[in-house]
Amino acid sequence: MQKEVIIFSVLFIFLLSCAPQSVPPEKDIPLEQVNSQPSETVQNFPTQKSQSQDTSKNEETNKTPSKEFQTKEILTPEITLTPEQKLWKQRVDNALAPTFCPPVEKQTYPENYYLGKLTDTHLHIPSIPDWPADEDAQMKTETPEGRFGGPQALLGWNVKISEISCTIQHEGTHNNFAFFPVYDEEISAYQLEIWNKTMQQYPDAFTPFIMSSGNDDEPNGFPTVDAKTLQKMLAVYPRLFSGYGEIGLYARENGGSPELPPDAARLQEIYPLIRKNNLAVYFHLGDGHKDNFEKVLEQNPKITFIFHGDQLSIDEVDDVLNNHQNVYYGIDDFFGGARDLFEMFVGKSKEKYLAAANQRFNSIVEQGVSDWKSLIEKHPDRVLWGIDRGDAVWNYDIDVGLMQVKIARAFIGKLNPAVQEKFAYKNALRALGDGEK
């Protein structure tokens, strides 16, 4: 037995050194180990002492976990799960469970539509439920309300990763910037395990962003965790994430956390970590954040920032794009003309939403053209397409995905042909520093 473990360890280390692109298998930390000793898991990685220094050396160090860590992982004996751990494991399994995906039908569009590749740069992935595991039975009849009303989408509860993947295949988006929630609580180990397995299962469907929300439902809370917590989260599966966000820096409605300006101390401590981990940043700015955002863009020329939202006027967005090269703007305004259709039907009827979107289809597209065409064409390399799905269960439905893509293809078809592919997917690759995929 001892011998087998040693042979396996050697093979394991060898395989690791051969697979620079993939997330190393040693990161697949057994659930029971993560759950019982979450902080120990990360203590084996180098701690970040001087974040402001050039971190290229540290990056290298961080890419290869120590032998001590690998050996310890492999030798950890099986631990019997407590009933609570079993319930959490069940949630992880439910989130990742397979579902039937009907055969993908080829879509036909009018010839003046854009027919090329599409990357949705704004896809929210729901979390698993965060209530205590033993409350599942009670919550069957009390699923929490989503932010815009109606039952909240919860992974493994009313939607699964396999269903989201199925929708993506059917709608025909090539890739998606996926915002994976990770909370500052015990649940984070399970969330991270799910996201790691999701990326192993669907490496081409998603570009993973860590959406490390803080306690933003509290009046004294924050929209994101602090740097120390983020560092621990990122260390569990090094190199898993390509981005950090979406982080909403605006003040939360209903007595939640106040605004967090982009140059706030909490974020200033986070930027070196972003740089060290080679992440892109996705912000939803708050009102009046233009100046302090520009200051941060200036201070961090090597970090790529993406922002979206209507807190800045289109003129202000134009100004930011003019003044800085390390920033992109995401447009996700096609959900039904300033999102009003979505908000009208979210939590209610999908069929009514689709009927209304079909009825107003041309005006939705024309509104998009009048609002955005000139900005996109003025900054052909710096504006990204996205949907901003999240919250409502039917958001992840195939028919709704097809409608979003149809609107997008009609809209992009009205842009200057020279910028169509850029807006549709090439700028998304560029923002992440990738070449053609």
Residue 333 binds to Zn ion (criterion: CB under 5 A): no
Task: State which residue, 184 or 391, has the beta carbon closest to Zn ion.
Answer: 391
Stretch that binds Zn ion, among 61-69, 78-86, 106-114, 282-290 (CB under 5 A): 282-290
Q: How far is CA 331 from CA 156, 168, 243, in A?
A: 29, 19, 18
Shortest distance, position 95 Cβ to Zn ion, whole Å: 20
* Amino acid identity for residue 51 in this structure: Q
Residues facing 308 on adjacent strands: 284, 330
Shortest distance, position 283 Cβ to Zn ion, whole Å: 9
Shortest distance, position 121 Cβ to Zn ion, whole Å: 10
Task: State which residue, 45 or 206, has the beta carbon closest to Zn ion.
Answer: 206
Task: State which residue, 189 or 296, has the beta carbon closest to Zn ion.
Answer: 296
* Closest to 257 measured CA to CA, from 184, 345, 335: 184
Task: State which residue, 193 or 388, has the beta carbon closest to Zn ion.
Answer: 388
Distance CA 166, CA 173 (A): 11
Shortest distance, position 265 Cβ to Zn ion, whole Å: 23
Task: State which residue, 284 or 409, has the beta carbon closest to Zn ion.
Answer: 284
Stretch that binds Zn ion, among 206-214, 283-291, 360-368, 370-378 (CB under 5 A): 283-291
Task: Pull the structure tokens for residue 69.
Answer: 């860590």
Task: State which residue, 73 or 333, has the beta carbon closest to Zn ion.
Answer: 333
Q: Report the interhelical angle of 83-96 vs 187-201 (nearest 10°).
A: 30
Residue 276 binds to Zn ion (criterion: CB under 5 A): no
Task: State which residue, 34 or 123, has the beta carbon closest to Zn ion.
Answer: 123
Distance CA 375, CA 321 (A): 10
Shortest distance, position 243 Cβ to Zn ion, whole Å: 13
Residue 284 binds to Zn ion (criterion: CB under 5 A): yes
Site string (224-263) toward Zn ion, x via CB under 5 A: ----------------------x-----------------
Stretch that binds Zn ion, among 5-13, 73-81, 137-145, 279-287 (CB under 5 A): 279-287
Stretch that binds Zn ion, among 152-160, 230-238, 280-288, 374-382 (CB under 5 A): 280-288
Distance CA 131, CA 15 (A): 39
Task: State which residue, 73 or 388, has the beta carbon closest to Zn ion.
Answer: 388
Task: Pull the structure tokens for residue 131.
Answer: 């209530």
Could you say which residues in the range 100-129 bind Zn ion, by CB under 5 A? Answer: none
Phi and psi of 103, rounded to 5°?
A: -55, 140
Could you say which residues in the range 371-400 bind Zn ion, by CB under 5 A? Answer: 388
Phi and psi of 346, rounded to 5°?
A: -60, 135
Shortest distance, position 308 Cβ to Zn ion, whole Å: 6
* Closest to 342 measured CA to CA, from 316, 362, 319, 360: 360
Shortest distance, position 246 Cβ to Zn ion, whole Å: 5
Distance CA 285, CA 269 (A): 18
Shortest distance, position 124 Cβ to Zn ion, whole Å: 6
Shortest distance, position 146 Cβ to Zn ion, whole Å: 13
| Distant-in-sequence contacts of 273-277, Cβ < 8 A, 24+ apart | 273/48, 273/51, 273/227, 273/230, 273/231, 273/234, 274/244, 274/300, 274/303, 275/55, 275/300, 275/302, 275/303, 276/48, 276/51, 276/55, 276/58, 276/59, 276/62, 277/59, 277/62, 277/234, 277/241
Residue nearest to Zn ion (CB): 284
Q: Where are the beta strands (DSSP E) in 129-182?
A: 175-181
Distance CA 383, CA 381 (A): 6
Task: State which residue, 189 or 387, has the beta carbon closest to Zn ion.
Answer: 387
Residue 284 in 3-state DSSP?
strand
Report which DSSP code applies to 152. B
Task: State which residue, 45 or 195, has the beta carbon closest to Zn ion.
Answer: 195
Shortest distance, position 340 Cβ to Zn ion, whole Å: 16
Q: How many residues belong to the site for Zn ion (CB under 5 A)? A: 3
Task: State which residue, 107 or 292, has the beta carbon closest to Zn ion.
Answer: 292
* Amino acid identity for residue 71 in this structure: T
42 with 232: CB under 8 angstroms?
yes
* Closest to 159 measured CA to CA, from 122, 198, 125: 125
- b/e string for 159-181 if b means 16 or more Cβ within 10 A? bbbbbbbbbbbbbbbbbbbbbbb
Report which DSSP code applies to 426. I
Shortest distance, position 250 Cβ to Zn ion, whole Å: 8
**Residues in touch with Zn ion (CB under 5 A):** 246, 284, 388
